[in-house]
Amino acid sequence: DLEVPAITAAIEAHQRRITEAVFDHALKICAEKNGNVKTEVVIGDPKEKICEAVEKLNADLLVMGSRAFGPIKRLQLLLTV
């Protein structure tokens, strides 16, 4: 039998690994440039989660992935300067 929750969990875990790899690379680049960076991955209603994250981090700049990234469409990279 096809177990949808297990497949969904596997896809989400794979997406999280990809997101973490992108974050690690971005953090390395920013560290080389002496950037002050904070990252956070959130899942939920974008309208609410984006506002909550920006407020919580007191962010000056918000950089987000777009749907063009496919499996990383939930990627949200929060960058404070």
Asked whether the beta carbons of 8 and 43 are under 8 A apart, the reply is no
DSSP code string of 2-52: --HHHHHHHHHHHHHHHHHHHHHHHHHHHHHTT--B------S-HHHHHHH
Break the chain into its structural domains and give their ranges: 4-79
Instruction: List per-block mean pLDDT (blocks of 10 residues) for the chain, which spans 81 residues.
Output: 76 85 86 80 82 86 63 45 36
pTM for this one?
0.51
